[in-house]
């Protein structure tokens, strides 16, 4: 039995662990994938306060070193369920279970991938999921945005300020974002929209050179020359193990505001897996601090 179990070792989970440890609590962090979470896939971060430039891996290593120096236990475990037995929280994993007085769910959300050949190899080397994070790498260059919802339109508008040309590839005959965003996109000179088309592959040698698309109505194929591709077709929150215990919204995100409280006493949430408007490393860290302080108050 420990005071706190943090599920997920991304920036939200590691920050939560740090705050709880500094408050004198015993903490176990469970992570099924990569310690540091999705930020480890970012080769260069230029919008994280305190650093002109730092890689996601380097930042993750610094956070890991910090929580380990304060006595955190880090375990590679895949969580399969969460049970509440009185005041005890039992976290079930593939290899057994852990018990704590409180739990923070910081499992994050994964960007939905296109699932086409060559995509995985180009992630971080031409394919991105965040214009705020990576848009500046393509100043003066042509880029493509895949998707037609609000996220895709916002990405395109942001990229249009720095990139020479932005091509939106939408699989439907209309853009599905809010009308105000649609109007702005259609009125922006260097944004072009290609409708009824899907991505079938990529042109690349040592770096991305273009994206292959196919028209779903007439079958015509073409290659769009571009230096970067921004995939904006949605997120998948990693909350399946908790759906029978805590309240989720219709998209699978944990229902909680900036207080990071769930509907179950002693169970908190932080980071990209919770309902929120902005998903960035900085907002994940904010959540981690808030969730940890709330958890420490609950533990007493």
Those residues whose C-beta lies under 8 Å from the C-beta of residue 292, and which sit 6 or more positions away, are 4, 15, 16, 17, 18, 19, 20, 23, 104, 270
| Residue at token pair 């475990």 | 77
CB 91 within 8 Å of CB 30: yes
Question: Hey, CA dihedral for 26, 18, 58, 76, is it positive or negative?
Answer: positive
CA nearest to 185, candidates 163, 166, 213:
166
Identify the H or E element spanning 105.
Answer: strand 96-105
> H-type helices in the chain, by residue range?
11-22, 56-69, 119-122, 131-134, 150-159, 179-187, 281-299
Active site residues: 130, 133-134
- Lookup: tokens for 231: 């995939």
CB 149 within 8 Å of CB 176: yes
Those residues whose C-beta lies under 8 Å from the C-beta of residue 222, and which sit 6 or more positions away, are 212, 213
């Amino acid at each position: 039995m420990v005071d706190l179990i943090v599920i997920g070792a991304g920036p939200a989970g590691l920050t939560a662990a740090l705050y709880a440890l500094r408050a004198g609590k015993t903490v176990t962090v469970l992570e099924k994938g990569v310690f540091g979470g999705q930020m480890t896939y970012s080769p260069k971060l230029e919008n994280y306060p305190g650093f002109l430039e730092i890689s996601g891996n380097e930042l993750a290593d610094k956070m890991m070193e910090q929580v380990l120096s304060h006595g955190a236990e880090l375990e590679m475990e895949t969580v399969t369920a969460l049970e509440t037995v009185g005041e005890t929280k039992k976290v079930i994993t593939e290899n057994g279970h852990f018990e704590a007085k409180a739990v923070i769910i910081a499992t994050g959300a994964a960007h939905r991938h296109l699932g086409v050949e060559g995509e995985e190899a180009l992630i971080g080397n031409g394919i991105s999921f965040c214009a705020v994070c990576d848009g500046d790498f393509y100043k003066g260059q042509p880029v493509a945005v895949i998707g037609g919802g609000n996220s895709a339109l916002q990405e395109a508008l942001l990229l249009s300020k720095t990139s020479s040309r932005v091509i939106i590839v939408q699989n439907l005959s209309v853009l599905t974002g809010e009308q105000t965003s649609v109007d702005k996109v259609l009125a922006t000179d260097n944004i072009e929209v290609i409708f009824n088309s899907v991505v079938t592959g990529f042109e690349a040698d040592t770096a991305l050179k273009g994206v292959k698309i196919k028209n779903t109505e007439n079958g015509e194929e073409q290659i769009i020359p571009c230096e970067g591709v921004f995939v904006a077709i949605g997120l998948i929150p990693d909350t399946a193990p908790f759906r029978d215990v805590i309240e989720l919204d219709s998209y699978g995100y944990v229902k909680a505001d900036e207080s990071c409280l769930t509907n179950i006493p002693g169970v908190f949430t932080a980071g990209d897996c919770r309902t929120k408007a902005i998903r960035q490393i900085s907002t994940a860290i904010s959540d981690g601090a808030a969730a940890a302080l709330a958890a420490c108050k609950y533990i007493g």
